[in-house]
């Protein structure tokens, strides 16, 4: 009795932080925890809190919640493997199908007979089920035994070398994000190596240089820690062959630029007859057959009213309105003013003040789209492009918009505006081009020029003998006492001259072989008329498409167009992202033509030739702009590191494990949008290849050597600290 009382007194006298009754030391990662109640919800604070834990009910759910205070995981953290229930059910169903087709080893049958397993349910799994604390400072808390893994799995087998299911499509669970055909590239760029792929020896490895990756290493390199193989940059791998295709310089007649804004052709004669108040509209748009661009239609369909108008206009022939109803004419008038209003906003006002832009922002913000996307859609367009288009196409637009906003009538002009004229010489020199209708009269200018080639007061210019007087210079080489000498531009004293190109000297009769550009006084040349005629002849201007051969913004007819300037063109990316996001929403009918225009095989930039397109659960479309990177890799059931396997590659290099499938039709799979439906250029890795090394004796075959339990990322919260200044 005395001993018992003494023992109790000893216990009661111990301080709160005493470890006399602890079941064992914590692991090193948890050693800073000194208060039991931090993890054990059934332990109360205070001197005798430990006594309460003896009789209190254990609540593993609350204990798991305590774990998640530091170990941040997904909302499905306590589901098996941390998977969402729908994903877990799908995977479990697949495993049951494998189990039904396989035979359970006899040893496991005997174990289940002696120790029956409970039916495994897809319910909550608490942290302490697998992670047992108080087993020592160096205890591997995250390690699981093979028996623990097998206790739940529907597919039962003894070990990796004995009964492990065969690999299916490993390591390929989706198609590559970049559309790349290894088979065609091997045949085109490495034909010698491709011929040897089926033989026992291949030169893809290069032991002499120590490059075991061989030709594969031209594009693929180990990533951080050599766990993943990543693709080199476009500039390192593809630019030398494909950059010209992107910007169009390798095509004899490169792809036309993307029309962003356009003034479509209209049947102006009918609109005048119907007294449509649309103001001025260029006749040339009808001559060129210009149509509203898909990008313009999408912008005009920002709100429901605009979308309905764009839908109705599909049934109206804008080029022939003779049979149009009054309602159709009203829709055309609304369309014209929508186009004019947009052009006015983009050329004269802040884009952010545009009603259409504000409407799009409101709609897209509700969809969770970054408003910065709209800046990329139009931010790269120089303002001068808009101002120049407005000045040349609709010079009176500002006055018309002002009248329209005041509710005043804006009738069509009695005489249609002049169509676009080729730029004058002033355009090549930077001089201001006179407005239409104010061009100076050529003949009046020449009459005022004292040095003109047609002087108005020269009596010889009107002589009756029809002889053209080219100069009045008394020292002219054409001046002669012979009244008939001026009948030839390059006259000769020899009446039997045979028309030599340079003529003959009138004194020596010898052929003049002087420099054609010699301006010395002794030369026999004309009086400068040829030079003046050359100066008066306008220079030939390059076609707009040819001018934009290196990319950029330009105007062609009544369209503002754009050509990509380089790989990763921000304008093309923004519009493809924008249009793709609008799929599955009210804008889809207008977004679809835009997306198809920019993703076609002949589109400028040819983006979708290399970048695959995926469809999301919400039916929106996404262009994969980059290959899989290490940062994109989500933790999955299987883990693998390339680095320790480089040493076992033979002279085939990467093909030691990744066997090419020359019959695979991989390119056909990119025509549909589901990335999970694909044919790989390479065969799945054979399980037998791994079994040659992974045994108990050589490389080991524990489940956790290749597999993880938590498929989602686990972030350990860091303790907040303060600085000396706080």
Read off the pLDDT of residues 18-34 as tens digits, 9 standing for 90 and up. Answer: 555 567 888 988 888 87
Burial of 587 (0-12, 13-18, 19+ CB in 10 A): buried
- The set of long-range contacts for 167-174, using a CB threshold of 8 Å and a minimum separation of 24, is 167/684, 167/685, 167/686, 167/687, 168/684, 169/680, 169/684, 170/638, 170/684, 170/685, 171/638, 171/640, 171/684, 171/685, 172/678, 172/680, 172/682, 172/684, 173/676, 174/675, 174/676, 174/678
Average pLDDT, integer, range 437-463: 40
Q: How large a percentage of the chain has pLDDT more than 70?
A: 66
Q: How large a percentage of the chain has pLDDT more than 90?
A: 18
Give the model's pLDDT for residue 278: 95
Give the model's pLDDT for residue 303: 84
Confidence of residue 361 (pLDDT cuts 50, 70, 90): low
Give the model's pLDDT for residue 205: 43
Give the model's pLDDT for residue 451: 43
CB atoms within 10 A of CB 525: 18
Give the model's pLDDT for residue 391: 94
Using the Cα atoms of residue 635, residue 638, residue 641 and residue 646 in order, give the sign of their dihedral. Answer: negative
Q: Give, rounded to a whole angstrom, the gap between the first and last alpha carbons of the chain.
A: 57
Is pLDDT at 553 greater than 80 in this prediction?
yes
Is pLDDT at 312 greater than 90 in this prediction?
yes
Most confident of 261-270, 513-522, 645-654: 261-270
Q: Give residue-wise pLDDT tens across range 207-236.
A: 444 455 567 878 888 877 677 788 888 888
Average pLDDT, integer, range 290-315: 90
Give the model's pLDDT for residue 353: 67
**Whole-number Å distance between alpha carbons of 709 and 84:** 14
Q: How far is CA 506 from CA 161, 495, 497, 526, 530, in A?
A: 109, 11, 11, 15, 22
- For residues 400 and 277, is the Cβ–Cβ distance under 8 A? no
- For residues 257 and 548, is the Cβ–Cβ distance under 8 A? yes
Average pLDDT for the chain = 74
Confidence of residue 590 (pLDDT cuts 50, 70, 90): very high
List of residues 6+ apart from 212 with CB closer than 8 A: 205, 206, 646, 649, 653
**Whole-number Å distance between alpha carbons of 643 and 209:** 18
β-sheet bridge partners, residue 716: 71
Retrieve residue 275's tokens.
Answer: 């007294």
Confidence of residue 458 (pLDDT cuts 50, 70, 90): very low
Give the model's pLDDT for residue 49: 58
Is pLDDT at 689 greater than 80 in this prediction?
yes
Retrieve residue 384's tokens.
Answer: 């001068």
- For residues 92 and 671, is the Cβ–Cβ distance under 8 A? no
Strands across the sheet with 258-262, in order? 258-262, 559-563, 552-556
Is pLDDT at 435 greater than 50 in this prediction?
no
Average pLDDT, integer, range 479-506: 40
- Listed range (180-189, 203-212, 289-298) with the worst mean pLDDT: 203-212
Model-wide pTM > 0.85: no
**Whole-number Å distance between alpha carbons of 428 and 420:** 17
The DSSP 8-state label assigned to residue 686 in this structure reads P
Query: What residue spans of 13-156 are helical by DSSP H?
Result: 49-55, 60-70, 85-101, 106-114, 146-150
CA–CA–CA angle 194, 196, 200 (5° rounding): 140
Most confident of 65-79, 518-532, 619-633: 65-79
Q: Are strands 621-623 and 559-563 parallel, antiparallel or unpaired?
A: unpaired
β-sheet bridge partners, residue 211: 206
Give the model's pLDDT for residue 722: 41
**Whole-number Å distance between alpha carbons of 294 and 313:** 13
Q: Of the candidates 594, 585, 453, 470, which has an alpha carbon nearest to the alpha carbon of residue 527? A: 470
Average pLDDT, integer, range 646-660: 83
Average pLDDT, integer, range 698-707: 90
- For residues 618 and 584, is the Cβ–Cβ distance under 8 A? yes
- For residues 278 and 412, is the Cβ–Cβ distance under 8 A? yes
Average pLDDT, integer, range 114-125: 70
Burial of 103 (0-12, 13-18, 19+ CB in 10 A): exposed
Three-class SS state of 262: strand
Is pLDDT at 254 greater than 70 in this prediction?
no
460 vs 604, more confident: 604
Average pLDDT, integer, range 431-438: 40
478 vs 424, more confident: 424
- Listed range (97-106, 139-148, 252-261) with the worst mean pLDDT: 252-261
CA–CA–CA angle 429, 430, 434 (5° rounding): 105
């Amino acid at each position: 009795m005395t001993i018992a009382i003494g023992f109790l007194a000893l216990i009661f006298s111990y301080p709160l932080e005493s470890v006399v009754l602890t079941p064992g030391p914590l692991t090193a990662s948890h050693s800073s925890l000194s208060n039991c109640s931090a993890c054990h919800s059934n332990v109360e604070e205070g001197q005798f809190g430990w006594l309460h834990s003896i009789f209190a009910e254990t609540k593993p759910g609350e204990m798991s919640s305590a774990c998640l205070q530091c170990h941040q995981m997904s909302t499905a953290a306590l589901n098996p493997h941390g998977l969402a229930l729908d994903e877990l059910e799908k995977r479990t169903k697949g495993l049951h199908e494998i189990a039904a087709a396989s035979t359970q080893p006899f040893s496991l049958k005997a174990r289940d007979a002696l120790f029956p397993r409970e039916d495994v349910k897809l319910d909550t799994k608490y942290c302490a089920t697998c992670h047992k604390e108080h087993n020592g400072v160096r205890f591997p808390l995250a390690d699981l035994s093979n028996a623990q893994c097998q206790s739940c799995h529907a597919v039962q087998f003894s070990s990796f070398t004995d009964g492990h299911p065969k690999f299916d499509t490993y390591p390929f669970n989706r198609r590559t994000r970049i559309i790349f055909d290894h088979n065609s590239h091997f045949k085109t760029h490495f034909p010698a190596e491709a011929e040897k792929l089926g033989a026992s020896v291949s030169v893809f490895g290069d032991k002499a240089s120590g490059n075991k990756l061989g030709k594969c290493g031209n594009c693929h390199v180990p990533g951080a820690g050599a766990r993943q193989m990543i693709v080199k940059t476009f500039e390192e791998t593809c630019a030398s062959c494909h950059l010209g295709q992107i910007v169009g310089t390798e095509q004899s007649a490169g792809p036309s630029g993307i029309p962003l804004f356009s003034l479509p052709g209209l049947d102006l004669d009918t609109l005048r007859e119907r007294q449509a108040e649309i103001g001025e509209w260029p006749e040339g748009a009808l001559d060129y057959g210009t149509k509203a661009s898909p990008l313009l239609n999408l912008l005009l369909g920002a709100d429901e009213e605009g979308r309905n108008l764009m839908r109705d206009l599909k049934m109206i022939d804008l080029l022939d309105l003779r049979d149009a109803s009054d309602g159709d004419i009203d829709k055309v008038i609304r369309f014209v003013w929508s186009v004019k209003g947009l052009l006015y906003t983009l050329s004269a006002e802040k884009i952010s003040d545009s009603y259409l832009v504000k409407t799009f922002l409101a709609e897209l913000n509700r969809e969770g789209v970054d408003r910065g996307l709209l800046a990329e859609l139009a931010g790269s367009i120089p303002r001068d492009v808009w101002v120049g288009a407005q000045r040349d196409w609709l010079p009176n637009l500002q006055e018309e918009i002002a009248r329209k906003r005041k509710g005043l009538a804006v009738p069509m002009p009695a005489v249609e505006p002049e169509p676009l004229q080729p730029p004058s010489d002033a355009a090549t020199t930077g001089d201001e081009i006179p407005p239409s209708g104010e061009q100076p009269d050529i003949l009046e200018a020449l009459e005022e020029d004292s040095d003109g080639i047609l002087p108005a007061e020269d009596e010889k210019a009107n002589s009756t003998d029809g002889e053209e007087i080219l100069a009045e210079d008394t020292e002219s080489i054409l001046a002669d006492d012979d009244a008939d000498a001026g009948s030839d531009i390059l006259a000769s004293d020899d009446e039997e001259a045979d028309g030599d190109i340079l003529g003959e000297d009138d004194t020596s009769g010898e052929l003049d072989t002087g420099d054609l550009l010699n301006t010395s006084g002794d030369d026999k040349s004309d009086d400068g008329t040829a030079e003046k005629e050359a100066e008066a002849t306008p220079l030939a201007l390059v076609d707009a498409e040819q001018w934009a051969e290196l990319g950029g913004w330009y105007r062609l007819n009544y369209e503002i167009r754009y050509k990509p300037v380089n790989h990763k063109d921000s304008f093309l990316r923004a519009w493809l992202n924008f249009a793709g996001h609008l799929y599955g929403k009210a804008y889809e009918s207008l977004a679809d033509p835009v997306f198809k225009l920019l993703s076609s095989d002949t589109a400028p930039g040819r983006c979708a030739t290399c970048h695959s397109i995926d469809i999301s659960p919400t039916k929106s479309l996404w262009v994969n702009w980059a290959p899989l990177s290490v940062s994109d890799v989500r933790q999955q059931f299987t883990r693998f590191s390339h680095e320790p396997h480089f040493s076992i590659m033979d002279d085939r290099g990467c093909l030691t494990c990744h066997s090419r499938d020359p019959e695979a039709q991989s390119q056909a799979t990119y025509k549909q949008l589901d990335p999970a439906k694909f044919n790989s250029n390479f065969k799945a890795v054979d399980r037998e290849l791994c079994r040659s090394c992974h045994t108990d004796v050589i490389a080991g075959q524990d489940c956790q050597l290749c597999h993880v339990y938590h498929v989602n990322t686990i972030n350990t919260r860091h303790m907040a600290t303060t600085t000396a200044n706080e």
